[in-house]
Amino acid sequence: MKLLIVEDEKYVAFLLEEFLKKMGINNFDIVFSFKEAINILKDKKYDIILADNGLPDGTGLELLKKVKKIDSFATVVFITGSDDSDLLIGLINNGAYAYLKKPIDYSEFEFTVNKSIEYRKLLNENIKLTKEMIKKKEIEKELKLAKEIQENILLKILPNRLNLEMYAISKPAKFVGGDFYDVINISEDEIIFVIGDVSGKGLKSSIAMVMLLSIIRTLVEKRIPLSNILYELNRNLFSSNIKMSATCFIGKLNTKTLSLKYVNAGHEYPLIFRDENIIEVENGDLLLGAVDESRFQEYEVQLLDQDYLFLYTDGISELYEDLEVLKIKIKEFLSKEQNLKNSVLNFLKWDNINNKEIILDDKTILGIKIENILSVKKEASYHLIANTHEILNLKIFLKELFSYLKLNDEDEFNLNFTINELVTNSIQHGYLNGTGIIDMSFKLISKDFLQIKIKDYGIGINKNILKNLNENIIDSAALRGRGIYICKKLTDNFQINVNEGKGTEIIFTKKISR
């Protein structure tokens, strides 16, 4: 990745230079004017441009238009001291990726630059996919890459919430497909979920899918209203060279009040299964990419405890002449199983058999069950990808859990420290910062005792470390094992089961005061 800084105030330029070096980024150039920027962009190619919006010899919008003429894929982040919302929205609408406000905060700068790099990497992969389809072997390589990108961008595990059970699955009709889904924690009380379907099948659809999902994630992080998110998706899809359309349903659910705000761009109506009733979540607008400058309206529906929300793409519904048959069958499978995942998988198995495994289109299902599992079964589970970025979602879940249990401050602090220490240990040492899954369970074994299990499937803790888990480790020169020893002291009945090369399971109980 190569970056260009365009900033007329030298002290700001040097501050940005220091920020980039602090992030370990050294491949960048600095220019101090609009004219210099245009000249250097004619000779060199940059992946990301960090530009001042108020250059003396040209405005940010003028620079953006010039840059896009030279390189239509340029990823531009503006730095501005302005609070003019119309100006900032205008920059985004004309193709800017993001903006940073002065004075520049390092953490916000680091976050935005990292997101820009991730976005640019995805964009580069998409460009590569569209250019390299000449020979059969090259096509096969690109298809494989596209499949990996698609599998990586679609969440393998959805972020758990204490009162929500969620499961999603997507089956492309071809090697890759155009269906997409996502669930994003945006606060302790709210999640955003989305499901969509790009027209057509195969490679072209998958490219559009990656583009749309990347834009959604970027705009959600910026707290853009739901209707504006779909407006931007429509604008990008309509103006792109892909020339495709897409359906999309995006919802924002308040996990406390269960109010669901949503916008629907031509997507299949989601279904609410409530007691013996099937309710369609109606209302919607035109699909994406059909008409330029389309506007989208936000609606609201109230969900209730024990509701099932069932979202799907038309690959599920198009084989049924009578949709009532489909609705009744889905309800039947949801009522058979208490586990949402099993309900969805058993329905798909029946659907394949009933339709003689005919796959005419991509099939995607996103299911959400509203139920405080801990209050019903006295136990709850949490699963996460072994990645330090997932710790934030885990913290939201733990806050919900501890709030429900009404723990005192000391117990909450001790459990937070213990769980975060052990999970981080699994990520960094169990998987050596590679990919993997960590399974966790929380069980009330009595009104005063909470049992917690944390299991990874990595290389396993070194048993030599476990031999020295005593008070002497605090003063020893060895670094490994101190955290585990502290966790052991903060909890009760602390056990570690190691299966070398296959993972570690840690089980402990904690007497809780409420």
pLDDT at 132: 63
- Side-chain-side CA neighbours of 489 within 13 Å: the count stands at 11
Q: Which residues contact 436 (CB under 8 A, 6 or more apart)?
A: 385, 386, 430, 456, 457, 458
Q: How far apart are CA 408 and CA 403, in angstroms?
A: 9
Determine which helix (DSSP H) or strand (DSSP E) holds 19, and give its type and residue range. Answer: helix 10-22
| Structural contact between residues 212 and 237, judged by C-beta atoms closer than 8 angstroms | yes
pLDDT at 148: 67
pLDDT at 296: 93
Cα 390–424–484 angle (5° rounding)? 155
Q: Which residues contact 259 (CB under 8 A, 6 or more apart)?
A: 253, 300, 301, 302, 303
Return the bridge partners of 363, or none.
171
- Continuous H helices in 280-322: 314-317
Q: How far apart are CA 7 and CA 66, in angstroms?
A: 16
- Continuous H helices in 189-254: 203-221, 226-239
Q: Which residues contact 166 (CB under 8 A, 6 or more apart)?
A: 158, 159, 160, 183, 193, 340, 366, 367, 368, 369
Tokens of 257: 């009040």
* CA 362 vs CA 45, 201, 280, 315: distances in Å: 37, 7, 22, 5
pLDDT at 86: 82
Q: 48: closest CA among 70, 73, 76, 20?
A: 76
Phi/psi of residue 441, each to 5°? -135, 150
Count CB atoms within 10 A of the CB of residue 19.
Answer: 18
Tokens of 407: 């723990």
User: What is the torsion angle, in degrees rounded to the nearest 10, for the CA atoms of residue 345, residue 254, residue 110 and residue 392?
Assistant: -60
Q: How far apart are CA 333 and CA 344, in angstroms?
A: 7
Taking each helix axis as running N to C, give the angle between helix 203-221 and helix 136-153, from 0 to 180 degrees, rounded to the nearest 10: 30
Q: Which amino acid is at 69?
A: K
| Structural contact between residues 365 and 168, judged by C-beta atoms closer than 8 angstroms | yes
Q: 1: closest CA among 28, 21, 19, 24?
A: 28
Q: How far apart are CA 134 and CA 388, in angstroms?
A: 40
Question: What is the three-class DSSP state of 132?
Answer: coil
Q: How far apart are CA 470 and CA 489, in angstroms?
A: 10
pLDDT at 477: 46
Phi/psi of residue 310, each to 5°? -120, 115
| Structural contact between residues 32 and 13, judged by C-beta atoms closer than 8 angstroms | yes
Q: How far apart are CA 26 and CA 20, in angstroms?
A: 7
Question: What is the three-class DSSP state of 181?
Answer: strand
Q: How far apart are CA 290 and CA 312, in angstroms?
A: 21
Query: How does pLDDT run along the chain (514 residues), one tens digit per residue?
Result: 899 999 999 999 999 999 999 999 999 999 999 999 999 998 898 999 999 988 888 888 888 888 888 888 889 999 988 888 888 888 888 888 888 888 888 899 999 999 999 988 888 887 777 666 555 565 566 666 666 666 667 777 788 888 888 999 888 877 677 889 999 998 888 999 999 998 877 677 878 888 888 899 999 988 999 999 999 999 888 887 777 889 999 999 999 899 999 999 999 999 999 887 889 998 888 899 888 888 999 999 999 988 999 999 988 887 777 788 888 888 888 877 667 888 888 888 877 766 655 566 788 999 999 987 666 678 888 888 888 778 888 999 999 899 888 999 999 999 999 999 999 888 887 887 567 889 999 999 888 899 999 999 888 777 666 666 665 555 554 556 778 888 988 998 899 888 877 889 999 999 988 7
| Structural contact between residues 252 and 262, judged by C-beta atoms closer than 8 angstroms | yes
Phi/psi of residue 264, each to 5°? -125, 120
